[in-house]
């Protein structure tokens, strides 16, 4: 059964009588779509195993007992199924259902064997015993005090989540959110959900303003209530940061957007702005670039921007700790490379930019070697693990992520670690600096002592950071910040089709088509055919022709939705490369299924686990009994995620171009189509996509979509860093 075949086709009602109600146990989830349409295998005491489907099944888990209402219908490819109209969770009553429930992994710490032992001992009274007399679990062989306490805790959590599901369904909200709410708020979840659901926005992944607003309005909160108005203003401000990377919005724009969101008068919104100012959650000031325009920042973004300016000013004004000695060695450098070396040695803050094939990595290697020859110390960093690994490979020197650099502390007793923090080196080099968002740049510069040199290296024509801010581009707009742009393309790179295509795209010109020497464009018009071709290239054609594994090929997508988006292509690639296997454990988390062998990527920094957004990893184990997934990152670190934390991981079979930043792949395959208007197709995105490939990049799709991407420029992010910094450095 293939996921892309499991939609809701025209069905035929069977001659079999319509089933109005049946009590079942969930045996296995087969498919969950993003809109929560679910297909599952069920069993019942009165019926053989069968398939049920429908959105009413959203959030069901193997082992649960359900009371279903629906009609029997015939799927044209997969036979009869129960199309569910109503689903109610009920307590399992038969001995078999109780054993399936306990052994399914729903109750952490109980697997099939222990479930059998417990049910064999207590029979139909098992759940009553666990609920009212849990101390009796000690009567069962292999259950000691620690395991008994774990079971009791997990049982209480499961009951609380089930109760939250009922509450959410009453508001017409997906029950899938119940576990996420409980994970954040624990036993306070129900009270908070009913008293002030707006507090959940931003803290519970999946709950945005519309979801919280629906709960609030149905709970009787007035449409004009201050809490609703303030939540709407913050939602628009935070959405601008998350979606578009803006640090602020012009106040009139924000007021109009919030008024439209809640369908209220703008005067009411302005009173909400005053209330947020009194709460010190926002800052309203004259635009740093246009004093005649009022703008609003979220407090945290304003604070970070101000601190970043102070940090950069402190570093720029400081006396260098390096012995000033002019660089005279040639080492095969071009004139602009030699100028870049001198700039890094003499300026405490500087920027080095340039496109592919212009020798940035070799320049960094020479700079680092020169500083070390002077007796200085050097730390090479990049925002992601892959970017740091690539920097190390290209320079032959050790490199680390910015996050790990900031986490390192001096350990004088251990000679294998730094004798000082790596952030205190004489020279800090940050590669792929276009990926630095406002938050990371502020943390980075706060850790560097005055006198150290900070060299930011990047390609200013690539996409900006995922997070808010546009740090590299902003610094390049400050005249006082020293910078060098490498423009000479070296002979060994001139023959690369990737390099040639990238430089033409940067100049706003269409690459030579269909291409050669590492760049190829295959024209197809229909998005469904494009998707099929991308999958064939990534899983069969290229691996066979190049004699490589499919793990050497990365599919990159400009869009998330649609037939050629990351969600659908990623699902289909997973089916092809890592399908379900009989007897092998798997776990569905929303519309994603996790299996051992899956390629995944953290999408959130988790300092407790030591993993960071954009790292690559492989699932090594799925443990239903302990309700966890184990992964191994590309740098060999083993990390555990509970089932409740899986929204911090995304599958990496097909990823967005943004998430590929800082990485380089031997082969890249990408769809280029103008689905949904092709809103993401812009020059920087296409340029970034093409430059992620090391050997070959194959684009498949519409010529007009490719032309659209080449000629459409991106929007400008709202940030105040450049004018603030220019004023600070000139003052």
Strand-pair partners of 13: 73
CA dist., res. 430 & res. 688, Å (int)? 18
Judge residue 15's burial from the number of C-beta atoms within 10 Å of its C-beta, 0-12 exposed, 13-18 middle, 19 or more buried: exposed
CB 277 within 8 A of CB 693: no
Tell the residue number behind the tokens 């001139």, with chain if given.
Answer: 494
Estimate to the nearest angstrom the gap between the alpha carbon of 286 and the chain centroid: 33
Strand-pair partners of 296: 249, 284
Structure tokens at 532: 């099929």
* Phi, psi (degrees; rounded to nearest 5) at 34: -65, -30
**Residue 257 neighbours by CB under 8 Å, 6+ apart:** 236, 249
Binding residue per annotation — 361?
Answer: yes
Nearest-CA neighbor of 310 among 695, 658, 729, 638? 729
Binding residue per annotation — 247?
Answer: no
Estimate to the nearest angstrom the gap between the alpha carbon of 97 and the chain centroid: 38
In this structure, the strands spanning 592-595 and 586-589 are antiparallel
Binding residue per annotation — 287?
Answer: no
CB 253 within 8 A of CB 247: no
CB 163 within 8 A of CB 157: no
CA dist., res. 651 & res. 653, Å (int)? 6
Binding residue per annotation — 358?
Answer: yes
Secondary-structure percent of the chain, ordered helix, strand, coil, rounded to 5: 45, 20, 35
Residues making up the chain, counted from first to last = 731
Task: For 257-266, give one letter per residue: b (16+ CB within 10 A) or e.
Answer: bbbebbebee
CA dist., res. 480 & res. 462, Å (int)? 23
* Phi, psi (degrees; rounded to nearest 5) at 144: -105, -170
Measure Cα distances from 227 to 213, 254, 272 in Å.
10, 17, 9
CA dist., res. 413 & res. 431, Å (int)? 30
Annotated binding site: which residue ranges? 357-361
Annotated binding site for ATP: which residue ranges? 357-361
């Amino acid at each position: 059964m293939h996921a892309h075949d499991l939609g809701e086709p025209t069905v035929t009602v069977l001659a079999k009588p319509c089933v109005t109600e049946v009590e079942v146990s969930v045996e296995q989830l087969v498919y969950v779509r993003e809109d929560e349409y679910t297909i599952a295998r069920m069993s019942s005491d009165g019926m053989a195993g069968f398939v049920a489907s429908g959105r009413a099944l959203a959030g069901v888990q193997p082992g649960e007992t359900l009371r279903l209402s629906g009609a029997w219908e015939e799927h044209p490819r997969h036979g009869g199924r129960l199309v569910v109209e109503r689903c109610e969770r009920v307590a399992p009553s038969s001995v078999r259902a109780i054993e399936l429930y306990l052994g399914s992994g729903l109750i952490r710490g109980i697997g099939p064997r222990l479930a059998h032992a417990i049910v064999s001992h207590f029979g139909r009274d098992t759940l009553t015993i666990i609920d009212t007399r849990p101390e009796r679990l000690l009567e069962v062989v292999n259950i000691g005090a620690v395991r008994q306490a774990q079971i009791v805790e997990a049982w209480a959590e499961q009951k609380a989540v089930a109760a939250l599901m009922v509450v959410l369904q009453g508001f017409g909200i997906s029950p899938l959110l119940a576990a996420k709410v409980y994970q954040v708020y624990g036993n306070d979840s129900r009270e908070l959900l009913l008293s002030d659901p707006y507090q959940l926005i931003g803290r519970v992944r999946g709950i945005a303003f519309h979801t919280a607003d629906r709960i609030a309005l149905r709970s009787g909160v007035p449409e004009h209530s201050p809490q609703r108005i303030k939540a709407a203003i913050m939602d628009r401000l935070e959405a601008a940061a998350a979606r578009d990377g803006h640090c602020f919005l012009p106040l009139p724009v924000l007021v109009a957007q919030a008024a439209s969101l809640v369908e209220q008068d703008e005067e009411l919104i302005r009173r909400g702005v005053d209330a947020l100012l009194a709460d010190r959650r926002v800052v309203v000031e004259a635009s740093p670039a246009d004093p005649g325009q009022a703008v609003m920042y979220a407090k945290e973004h304003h604070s970070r921007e101000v601190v970043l300016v102070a940090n950069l000013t402190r570093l720029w004004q400081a006396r260098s700790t390096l012995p000033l000695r002019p660089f005279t060695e040639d080492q095969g450098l071009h004139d602009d490379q030699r100028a870049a070396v001198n700039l890094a040695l003499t300026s405490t803050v500087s920027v080095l930019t340039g496109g592919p094939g212009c020798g940035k990595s070799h320049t960094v290697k020479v700079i680092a070697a020169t500083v070390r020859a002077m007796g200085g110390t050097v730390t090479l960093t990049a925002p992601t693990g892959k970017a740091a690994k690539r920097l190390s490979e290209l320079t032959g020197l050790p490199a680390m992520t910015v996050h790990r650099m900031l986490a390192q502390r001096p350990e004088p007793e251990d000679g294998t670690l730094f004798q000082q923090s790596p952030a205190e080196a004489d020279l800090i080099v940050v590669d792929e600096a276009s990926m630095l968002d406002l938050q990371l740049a502020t943390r980075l510069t706060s850790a560097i002592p005055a006198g150290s040199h900070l060299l930011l290296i990047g390609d200013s024509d690539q996409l900006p950071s995922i997070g808010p801010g546009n740090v590299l581009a902003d610094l390049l707009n400050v005249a006082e910040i020293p910078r060098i742009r490498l423009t000479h393309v070296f002979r060994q790179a001139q023959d690369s089709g990737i390099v040639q295509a990238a430089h033409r795209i940067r100049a706003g010109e269409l690459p030579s088509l269909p291409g050669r020497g590492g760049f190829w464009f295959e024209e197809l018009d229909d998005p469904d055919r494009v998707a099929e071709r991308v999958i064939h290239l990534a899983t069969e054609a290229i691996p066979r022709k190049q004699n490589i594994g499919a793990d050497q090929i990365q599919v990159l997508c400009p869009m998330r939705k649609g037939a050629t988006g990351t969600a659908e292509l990623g699902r289909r690639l997973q089916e092809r490369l890592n399908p379900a296997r009989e007897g092998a454990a798997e776990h569905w988390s929303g519309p994603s299924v996790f299996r051992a062998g899956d390629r995944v990527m953290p999408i959130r920094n988790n300092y407790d686990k030591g993993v960071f957004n954009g790292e690559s990893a492989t699932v090594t184990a799925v443990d239903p009994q302990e309700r966890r997934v184990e992964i191994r990152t590309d740098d060999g670190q083993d990390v555990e995620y509970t089932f409740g934390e899986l929204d911090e991981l995304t599958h990496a079979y097909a990823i967005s171009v943004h998430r590929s930043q800082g990485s380089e792949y031997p082969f890249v395959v990408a769809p280029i189509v103008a689905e949904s208007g092709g809103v993401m197709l812009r020059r920087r995105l296409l340029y970034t996509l093409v430059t992620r490939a090391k050997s070959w990049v194959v684009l498949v799709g519409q010529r007009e979509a490719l032309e659209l991407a080449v000629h459409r420029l991106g929007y400008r992010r709202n940030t105040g860093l450049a004018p603030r910094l220019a004023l600070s450095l000139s003052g």
